[in-house]
Amino acid sequence: QKEVEQNSGPLSVPEGAIASLNCTYSDRVSQSFFWYRQYSGKSPELIMSIYSNGDKEDGRFTAQLNKASQYVSLLIRDSQPSDSATYLCAVLSIRETSYDKVIFGPGTSLSVIP
C-alpha cells in the first residue's frame, strides 16, 4: 500500500465550480498535512497546512482533515483557469526507526475549463 494516495486525474471542472481533491494516507499517527500546487515546469508552492480535524479555510481554499478516516481533502471554490495545475498532498510520516519524513502523494491534475 502506498503511503499517500491521490487520484491522478485529470480532474476537469468548469470555471466557477467547486473542485474537490482527495488524499488518503496510511500512517495513523501522522499529525501534519500539507497541500501544494505545482504548475507545469515549476516547483511546488504551499497552499495550506492543516494539523487538526475539521475544516481550515483560506480564501477560496478549504482543507478538510479526518484523522479517523485517514483522509485529507482540498476544496477550491469558484475555480479559475489559473487554478489548473497539479495538486500535491503531503503528509508527515512519523517513523520509529529513522527520521520523520514528509511523504508526497503522486498529485492530482486539475483542469479548469473556461
Partner 1 sequence: GAVVSQHPSRVICKSGTSVKIECRSLDFQATTMFWYRQFPKKSLMLMATSNEGSKATYEQGVEKDKFLINHASLTLSTLTVTSAHPEDSSFYICSASWRAYTDTQYFGPGTRLTVL
Distance in Å, CB of 16 to partner 1, minimum: 28
Q: What are phi and psi of 100, to 5 degrees?
A: -60, 150
- CB count within 10 Å of CB 33 equals 25
Q: Give 17 or 32: the residue with its C-beta nearer to partner 1.
A: 32
- Are 47 and 37 in contact by the 8 Å Cβ rule? The answer is yes
Q: With CA atoms as reference, report the closest residue to 38 among 5, 74, 79, 86.
A: 86
Among 15, 45, 58, 78, the residue binding partner 1 under the rule CB under 8 A is 45
Distance in Å, CB of 84 to partner 1, minimum: 15
Q: Give 96 or 114: the residue with its C-beta nearer to partner 1.
A: 96
Please give the residues from 67 up to 106 whose contact with partner 1 meets the rule CB under 8 A.
Answer: 88, 90, 92, 99-102, 104-106
Report the distance separating Cα 36 and Cα 75, nearest Å.
13
Written as nine digits, the cell of 107 is 498529485
> Which residues contribute to the site for partner 1 (CB under 8 A)?
31-32, 34, 36, 41-46, 49, 88, 90, 92, 99-102, 104-107
